[in-house]
Each structure stands twice: as structure tokens, then as C-alpha cells.
Structure 1
Amino acid sequence: MNLYEEILKLKTEIRNHQNPFSAGKFQNLKDTIRFEEKEIKILKLNY
């Protein structure tokens, strides 16, 4: 699953109040985004 799909899924979960949103899941996503940003920066530096 790519980052865009993950964010869409997350937004849906936040809107669905029956499904309690977990802080752990949010932290995990933030870490994933940071990792993706680092990879993008590295790729830009290499090309």
C-alpha cells in the first residue's frame, strides 16, 4: 500500500467515530511519512 492510500484510509478512520482512532497508529504513520521524506531527499541528492 502506498503512502497516499494509507493517508486516505486514515482520514476515513478518523471520520468514522465508531472506530476509535489509536495514537499508536498515528505515530506509526508519522514515522512512515518521515521515512518516506528522507528517502525522497536521498533520491534527489543522488540524481
Structure 2
Amino acid sequence: MLRVKVKIRCKECGERFVLRGRKERGVIETGFKQCVCDNRNSFDIEEDV
């Protein structure tokens, strides 16, 4: 398990979030569920280097 910084951008309203998550076997888990605009599905997620 590796702790990583993750950038999440909502594709619907453009809101941005920076979170810490866990990366295990190439999969990043942050616990992020939904944007403030109630979007639950459409996000750009990238690992911050």
C-alpha cells in the first residue's frame, strides 16, 4: 500500500478536489463519493506527482 496525492475534477461543474488516497496494485482508492453538484460518475482522476 502506498499513500498518494490525487487530483479530482468534476466533468459537470468543474469543481476541483485534492485528496490523499491509497494506491494498491495500480488502483487508487480515496473514499470520494460525489461532487457538491451531486455528480457521482463523471470525474477526471489523476495522481499528483
TM-score, normalising length: structure 2: 0.19
**Structure with more helix by fraction:** 1
**Structure with more strand by fraction:** 2
TM-score, normalising length: structure 1: 0.19
